[in-house]
Chains A and B, each alone.
Chain A
């Protein structure tokens, strides 16, 4: 993959030759993926926490129609898809920029320090 290849080279500059195993985890796209995964984990843990500690909230109807239990559950399913699409677009952007050359590496992307 071009993005990972470029990321692997970027890694080489700082730390010497790295195995592809770590390059696979270190690439820009992979870092964005981890950030998105973290966002989802917070949402998921929030749901589990409400079920456990504030079950009374689940019957409330914050948005009028359906209760929080249904809204949060459907929201989790929808957010998995939305985060997935965000990730796909982010990877596509990373790929496209790396084609243009190493300079693209310096471009700040969401989730990249």
Chain B
């Protein structure tokens, strides 16, 4: 579908970006220490840090992706929400306090606190960079893809805008400004999702009698687009879709339920008949035709798993294992993501780390419940673009008012800023603090640590922009899944064993991180999903039994660590280097 540019959305977005950059310069006006740049002096209040967790974690994929998935496939988007939130339990109960107690600026500090080994630092810094870059690419490409429908600017403009804004934010005041940007973004995102959800409940469910004729979109070899055989234009475009055909019988002749309570909304939806749209493609000499056609479904079927994860209904063992593997990677991955972990160094002590995680869980959990309502609201709003699930939430907002559309569009776009700044910050720490200072052994004064960190951030910002433009035409959404799997397989076994098994050796950790990273990456590159979606080959040619590696590679990480540790000399029992922690 073609979208009209919304000057209001551009204005709201521009004022947001200018104010956060202004704030960054204000926060960065004082001279900085390394502790200030990498860890915000450890002085961020736990509540602010908790909201910033939400701002850091809730990427565009979380907001637009999950809303769109729920709107198109029903319950299955919520499965991701459940997994994404579950990971925070591991972060709170297992990771938060030790990470805070053992580390200084980066995750590598914590893993290496007992050993002072260059091997560990090198392995962990590499895994941090790999995970951060895999996470970064979809964010940057997403920024470019979203800017066209949301703000009406070309792809490259979106990528460069985000790249420059984020680099400025990180370079001016490092972790201090990053934290505040994430705090503001997290608050805005959750607040406006709440407003939108309240409006959905207030409107209730409405029967919609729109046309159910199939629609055909044809892309001709010269790139022009036809809709039902006529050139696409503002006046002749795909009709928006998604509607309720029949409300439950108890509503009789009424076509609208009126305001509904939160759980009532879901139960009425379960008893309704809903029309969703599917598509099929075929190509001939004229071009590639995509036919969109309505499918009548019972609400009860849409509100249970299986719409997106078709494997859940086939009964094949490999499909079931694939699902278990995904849920395991989501559970273990969150607490191993470097941009989340560095947030623990910005607070005063372990109690603050714990409290901020609980705040994070509350905010992120609330957000995921809200996105379920947003997705379902969009599903029956009659406003969906059948070609793009990403636009579900903004288009839903448009059914209420153009102002709300502008606000949601601007927020969706600023979502990218918060996550990208966290990733650039994590990468900057890995390059300057771990690789240059600790692995290469370059002695740095406090001032130089900050300068190298900033140079690394600028470098990463440029790399991020280049990747965002280069990968423009690739399907990059699954890279977030890769990042989760690699983080879970490389980082989690090492961290857990370090904390709970005294016999863990430095060789064990180095081997587990390296092999966890390589094995999960190799598995992904050989999987059926990658064969089909990335290389364009047949799924059957894949040589691994299921696509998600976690179920195999996470236990493999533990196994490698145990075996290597047992074959290497045990660590000397000496107090760890945690002198930077006055609380000990």
Question: Could you tell me which A residues sit within 8 Å of B by CB distance?
Answer: 1, 4-5, 17-22, 24-25, 29-30, 33-34, 36-37, 40-41, 44, 47-48, 51-52, 55, 58-59, 61, 64-67, 69-70, 73-74, 76-78, 80-81, 83-85, 87-88, 91, 95
Contact = CB atoms under 8 A, between A and B. Distances in A.
A85 B102 contact: no
B324 interface: yes
B93 A73 contact: no
Nearest to A27: B97
Given A44-B331, A51-B312, A66 B266 contact: yes
B294 interface: no
Contacts of A84: 89, 92, 357-358, 361-362
Given A66-B263, A69-B304, A73-B78, A80 B85 contact: yes
Task: Assign chain B's interface to a size class.
Answer: 35 or more
A25 B499 CA distance: 6
A46 to B, nearest CB: 12
B267 A66 contact: yes
Contacts of B264: 65
Interface of B: 75, 78-79, 81-82, 85-86, 88-90, 92-94, 97-98, 101-102, 113-114, 263-264, 266-267, 270, 300-301, 303-306, 312-313, 320, 323-324, 327, 331, 349-351, 354-355, 357-358, 361-362, 365, 368-369, 498-500, 502, 573-576, 578, 583-584
Contacts of B355: 88
Contacts of B114: 19, 21
Given A80-B361, A85-B358, A67 B300 contact: yes
Contacts of A5: 584
A21 B92 contact: no
A46 B102 CA distance: 34
Contacts of A44: 86, 89, 327, 331
A65 B94 contact: no
B78 A19 contact: no
Contacts of B576: 19-21
B350 A4 contact: yes
A25 B574 contact: no
Given A58-B304, A58-B305, A80-B361, A52 B312 contact: yes
A52 B320 contact: yes
A48 B330 CA distance: 12
A63 B327 CA distance: 26
Given A24-B499, A65-B264, A4 B362 contact: no
A44 to B, nearest CB: 5
Nearest to B75: A69
Given A55-B304, A65-B264, A70-B303, A37 B89 contact: yes
Contact of A77 (B101, B301, B368): B368
Q: Which of B89, B97, B102, B361 has the most chain A CB atoms closer than 10 A to its own CB? A: B89
Contacts of B361: 80-81, 84
Closest 3 CB pairs of A and B: A37-B93, A33-B93, A65-B267
A65 B320 CA distance: 29
Contact of B85 (A1, A65, A77): A77
A58 B300 CA distance: 10
A67 B303 CA distance: 8
B374 to A, nearest CB: 15
A61 B299 CA distance: 13
A82 to B, nearest CB: 10
Given A52-B320, A65-B264, A67-B270, A73 B89 contact: no
A113 to B, nearest CB: 16
A81 B367 CA distance: 13
Given A19-B576, A40-B89, A84-B358, A65 B266 contact: yes
Contact of B102 (A21, A41, A73): A21
Given A1-B351, A37-B93, A67-B304, A55 B312 contact: yes
B369 A81 contact: no
A84 B578 CA distance: 27
Nearest to B330: A44
A91 B349 CA distance: 13
Contact of B575 (A20, A24, A29): A20
Nearest to A32: B93
